[in-house]
Structure 1
Amino acid sequence: MDEHNLTLAQIEAFRGHLLAEERAPGTVEKYQRDLRAFLRWLDGRAVTQERAAEWKTELLATSHAPVTVNSMVAALNGLFGFLGWDDCRVKFLRIQRRAFRDQSRELTRAEYTHLVGTARDHGKERLALLMETVCGTGIRVSEVPYITVETARVGRAEIALKGKIRVILLPDKLCRKLLKYARKHKIASGEIFITRSGRRMSRKQIWAEMKQLCTLSGVCPAKVYPHNLRHLFARTFYRACRDIARLADVLGHSSMETTRIYLVTTGVEHLRQMEKLGLVS
């Protein structure tokens, strides 16, 4: 059997492959971080299935959450498949599906409203509107560039990501806010959420601005990140229509199992439902 020696050049080539496959930029970045971490851990040793499994075990032993470990294993197995090193692939951790969600990480509607209000009170108009756009439509942070003056005028955006095309409808009130903001900042066409220099806001910048807002608002930082706005949209949308298939289409999910994860109740809600059963006298 040939010895498998991993290099940065191979990891970079895999990055090019992922981009050609139209994988989300955030996913590509994460895979690169995980694979470079694995390369550092190898410290010059050859890649084997046993060493890959050992790395997985060490990740779990060093306080990495099981879900995080599996995401890192996904990066590793993806690379091995790309390089033709199928003999090095490792199994994912088996994780029992959770019956309820950790309430300490769930952003409530009241907290979201407070965050938006705090942003406006402190002159962070762009951030407030961006959060309303993500939470009001359920788009991913990687899809923010599709919110343009043109899409705000017609009330719909055609998003092409992950090899799929879907149409996002923009509420009338949101469209009016977006166009008002664009006029105020002399944005005649193209993307609305741009920097003063006219450059696109990066995922990292959006994340950092939301985290800074936590200090001003008093909302727990563990709850404040772009994807949690998408979760809040999903829960609110489902409560209004009770149609998981329709919600899956709106969110752009290929599987309703993914959508179901968004709708898992908190421990408090779960306990309340159990109390209503009346099975304890």
Structure 2
Amino acid sequence: MTQHYILSLSSLERYHQQLIEDERSPETIVKYLRDIRHFFTFLSADKTVDKETVISYKKHLSQHYKGSSANSMLVAVNGLLTFLGWSECRVKLLRIQRQNFRRADRELTKDEYQRLLHAAKHKQNERLYLLMQTICATGIRVSEHRFITVSAIKTGYARIVNKGKERVVFIPAELKGPLLRFCRAHGVERGPVFVSRSGRPLDRSNIWADMKRLSQKANVPAEKIFPHNLRHLFAITYYQLEKDIIRLADILGHSSVETTRIYTATSGVEQKKLLSRLGLVECG
């Protein structure tokens, strides 16, 4: 017999508190809450939840979102269902064939990165100029820039605490001087380096918006300009130089090497060239 439950707003609030107690990152909590509110809106007026309803929601997501996006939304819903003790309503994630090459139309090249730096410098946005280099030269997530503190710069490394894990990230010697000069010029004596006028660490959306404004001046497609692409460029460059995926996974803070493989896949252009070099087609 199918079990029916009623999802209430108070249940969502209790789950919110559980996410906080589980020490999920602020960004993860915001995303999970957004995703479960989307599910809450999808439900019928009486907010009935059963296995058939969740399956229907899964189908709805598959028709309106990319597979990876749909799965991330299902993860949030499954987490809520587990928390409420409604595990029999959980659904499997969509099966997605792993893409074995990187998309060149979304990948930021080193030349494009350098043009972004020059554009930021030309606009006299020293904070953005140094922040982009800090992310790209260390491989940190944009949300982790708050761990780049005055003390970390002086010691040459930062202790990054994220997703219940701690790792050490070294700051290139070439960056230490410019970062310390920036701190002195802007009166930053302690704590995070990249802060707003109110002294709070810069928000991801504001960093993204500032980067997007460089598009025309840098002659870089806007769809390539987002903070995570700086981390992506670090990973690609590191792997091409060292070919050490285990060490790269440690630096990036990945729990699984499978996650790191996304960064080390060849580009579509490189794969096409490789196929041509195989010499297995004879025409004419």
Tell me the TM-score range normalised by the shorter chain: over 0.9
Residue 191 of structure 1, CA deviation: 1.0
- Once the two structures are superposed, residues 195-231 of structure 1 have per-residue CA deviations (whole angstroms, 9 ceiling, x without a partner) of 1232221122222222232244332222111111111
- Cα distance in 1 for partners of 2:9, 2:130 equals 40
8 A contact 2:108–2:230 mirrored in 1: yes
Paired AA for residue 162 in structure 1: K
- Once the two structures are superposed, residues 244-279 of structure 1 have per-residue CA deviations (whole angstroms, 9 ceiling, x without a partner) of 011011111111111111112221111111111111
Aligned to 1:9: 10
- Cα distance in 2 for partners of 1:12, 1:171 equals 43
Residue 2 of structure 1, CA deviation: 5.5
SS at structure 1 position matched to 2:247: helix
SS at structure 2 position matched to 1:104: coil
Aligned to 1:119: 120
Give unpaired runs (5+ residues) of structure 2. none
- Cα distance in 1 for partners of 2:95, 2:59 equals 13
The more displaced of 225-234 and 209-218 is 209-218
Q: Structure 1 pair 72/240, CA: closer, same or farther in 2 (3 Å)?
A: same
8 A contact 1:135–1:233 mirrored in 2: yes
- Once the two structures are superposed, residues 150-196 of structure 1 have per-residue CA deviations (whole angstroms, 9 ceiling, x without a partner) of 00001001111111111111100111121111011111111110112
After TM superposition, list the pairs within 5 Å mapping 1:18-57 onto structure 2.
18-44=19-45, 45-57=47-59
Say yes or no: does 1:275 pair with 2:267. no
Q: Structure 1 pair 99/41, CA: closer, same or farther in 2 (3 Å)?
A: same
- Cα distance in 2 for partners of 1:29, 1:119 equals 30
- Cα distance in 2 for partners of 1:249, 1:73 equals 28
- Cα distance in 2 for partners of 1:211, 1:52 equals 37
SS at structure 1 position matched to 2:7: coil
The more displaced of 181-190 and 3-12 is 3-12
SS at structure 2 position matched to 1:103: coil
Aligned to 1:105: 106
Say yes or no: does 1:89 pair with 2:73. no
Aligned to 1:217: 218
- Cα distance in 2 for partners of 1:14, 1:213 equals 40
After TM superposition, list the pairs within 5 Å mapping 1:124-163 onto structure 2.
124-163=125-164
8 A contact 1:21–1:163 mirrored in 2: no
* Equivalent pairs, count: 280
Aligned to 1:254: 255
After TM superposition, list the pairs within 5 Å mapping 1:188-227 onto structure 2.
188-227=189-228
After TM superposition, list the pairs within 5 Å mapping 1:173-192 onto structure 2.
173-192=174-193
8 A contact 1:8–1:36 mirrored in 2: no
- Once the two structures are superposed, residues 92-121 of structure 1 have per-residue CA deviations (whole angstroms, 9 ceiling, x without a partner) of 111111121221111111111111110110
After superposition, the CA RMSD in angstroms is: 1.4
The more displaced of 252-261 and 13-22 is 13-22
8 A contact 1:24–1:142 mirrored in 2: no
8 A contact 1:155–1:175 mirrored in 2: yes
Q: Structure 1 pair 55/130, CA: closer, same or farther in 2 (3 Å)?
A: same
Give unpaired runs (5+ residues) of structure 1. none
8 A contact 2:3–2:50 mirrored in 1: no
User: Equivalent pairs: percent with the same residue?
Assistant: 47
